Amino acid sequence: MNNAVSGFSKLSKEEKINWIATAYFSTPQEAIQLLKNYWNSDEKIQKLHDEFIENTISNFYIPLGVAPNFLINGKYSTIPMAIEESSVVAAAAKAAKFWSTRGGFKTTVINTEKIGQVHFMFKGDALKLESFFNQTKAKFFADTESITKNMQKRGGGILDIVLKDKTKLIPNYFQLHATFETKDSMGANFINSCLEQFAKTLKEEALDYELFSASEKDIQVVMSILSNYVPNCIVRAEVSCPINALEEKHINDPQEFAEKFVQAVQIAEVEPFRAVTHNKGIMNGIDAVVLATGNDFRAVEAGIHAYASRNGQYSSLSHAKIEDGIFTFWMEIPLALGTVGGLTSLHPLVKLSLEMLEKPSARELMQIVAVAGLAQNFAALRSLTTTGIQDGHMKMHLNNILNQFEANEDERVLIRKHFKHHVVSHSAVVDYIENLRK
């Protein structure tokens, strides 16, 4: 069957759904009904969702949960988390409660600098290009005045522009490398608008530069785009306490636990196969808060993983040490976030999440997000080095298995009672359900 379609974007929402249902499903009406079941009953909210992206046919729900009791710099927060993976929210909440009685989380924003680049080709004398750039630099600022005016009122704007010679990497390749401060907005549109004006100014001014030959005047701009790698937009989060204060239900020997914990982190620092999974756990916490607050988790992921590779090998984002009887666990990560603009002013649940966090600034949100990641990592490493990761995770996953097999209430009571004393695995639960139903 040929399922190609012409003019799909011009079809109404109903027409799009009808075409998809007919083209791909053996029971079209069931597919149509399923898609419509996930529409919001409030037409205004549904229209809002329809217009977030193109060719919208329905909403794809992800649970929004909360992790309370996060003591951050002496102040309690309840953190919203949008995620589908079981045990993530529970683990974050458990770590938050653990550290709330041991001094809480301490955070510091080290820098908030963001980066954008104009990538261009120049076939000529690099020294002449450098002289041209120095002469023209003020014009780049002047020509973007209308773009930066409002940002400057908020204390942001263009911090600097430098010329970078990349010809050792690619022949004739140069950059205008610009740094920005965007205050409470993530700033992608602002940065890209500035960069496109830089590119225009670059080409126009080159045509009038007397020292350039005819071929040198013909600067070829390849692209103008912000970078999601922000190694100078860094936040630090940490926890620490005397080793003996680590004692709790699953930590009978605090010294042994602390040493094993540090060893686990050291393994992630030197072994990339472990580091990837280690950092994925950190991102469970980070992505969930980034998504709940209407920020771009793909950009955050890309930037953080690049940062984890900055020394030439992919490595752990978090670190741990024991010094003078004190256990310390910390992390420094790049985070470019916003609390104004984009979805933050459009999505009702994003607005609710930000209000739950008491309307944080971008700097405050950086700290909250970093703490969620560190808490998640602590919870995972505590499980790995004590009871093992599967015990708690599979018990949380039990509900998903029960839902998959549409267990009724009587079955659920018996199954939960049985698996209080038996190891939870998918096959074990399925076997038990099948025996029950016999």
Instruction: Tell me the average pLDDT across 246-274.
Output: 96
Residue-wise pLDDT for 243-255, tens only, equals 999 999 889 999 9
Identify the helix (H) or strand (E) that includes residue 82. Answer: strand 75-82
User: What is the reported pLDDT for 395?
Assistant: 63
pLDDT tier at 145, thresholds 50, 70, 90: very high
Give the pTM. 0.88
Under 8 Å CB-to-CB from 434, ≥6 apart: which residues?
none
pLDDT tier at 132, thresholds 50, 70, 90: very high
Phi, psi for 119 (deg, rounded to 5): -95, 125
Residue-wise pLDDT for 6-29, tens only, equals 999 999 999 999 999 999 999 999
Out of 203, 280, 305, 395, the active site residue is 280
420 vs 381: CA distance, rounded Å: 23
Instruction: Evaluate if residue 369 carries a pLDDT over 70.
Output: yes
Question: Is residue 296 flagged as an active site residue?
Answer: yes
User: What is the reported pLDDT for 392?
Assistant: 57
Out of 296, 347, 364, 397, the active site residue is 296
Domains, the chain: 8-47 (no CATH), 64-107+235-387 (3.90.770.10), 114-227 (3.30.70.420), 392-437 (no CATH)
Instruction: Evaluate if residue 135 carries a pLDDT over 70.
Output: yes
Residue with tokens 């699953």: 250
CB 376 within 8 A of CB 282: yes
More confident residue, 425 or 321: 321
User: What is the reported pLDDT for 418?
Assistant: 86
Out of 94, 183, 347, 393, the active site residue is 393
User: What is the reported pLDDT for 3?
Assistant: 81
Instruction: Evaluate if residue 390 carries a pLDDT over 80.
Output: no
CA-to-CA dists, residue 256 to 59, 260, 379, angstroms: 48, 6, 17
Supply 14's token pair. 């109903």
User: What is the reported pLDDT for 128?
Assistant: 98
> In terms of C-beta density within 10 A (0-12 exposed, 13-18 middle, 19 or more buried), how is residue 420 classed?
exposed
Question: Is residue 393 flagged as an active site residue?
Answer: yes
Residues of the chain with pLDDT > 90: what percent?
Answer: 85
Instruction: Evaluate if residue 1 carries a pLDDT over 60.
Output: no
User: What is the reported pLDDT for 393?
Assistant: 56
Under 8 Å CB-to-CB from 169, ≥6 apart: which residues?
none
User: What is the reported pLDDT for 342?
Assistant: 83
Mean of per-residue pLDDT scores for the chain: 94
User: What is the reported pLDDT for 24?
Assistant: 95
Out of 13, 49, 50, 85, the active site residue is 85
Q: Crossing angle for the helix pair 389-404 and 426-437, nearest 10 degrees?
A: 40
Instruction: Evaluate if residue 102 carries a pLDDT over 70.
Output: yes
Question: Is residue 347 flagged as an active site residue?
Answer: no
Under 8 Å CB-to-CB from 196, ≥6 apart: which residues?
224
Residue-wise pLDDT for 170-227, tens only, equals 999 999 999 999 999 999 999 999 999 999 999 999 999 999 999 999 999 999 999 9
Question: Is residue 280 flagged as an active site residue?
Answer: yes
354 vs 360: CA distance, rounded Å: 7
Q: Which of 258, 298, 280, 249 is nearest to 373 (CA)?
A: 280
Residue with tokens 């950009």: 299
pLDDT tier at 427, thresholds 50, 70, 90: confident
Residue-wise pLDDT for 325-363, tens only, equals 999 999 999 999 999 988 888 999 999 999 999 999 999
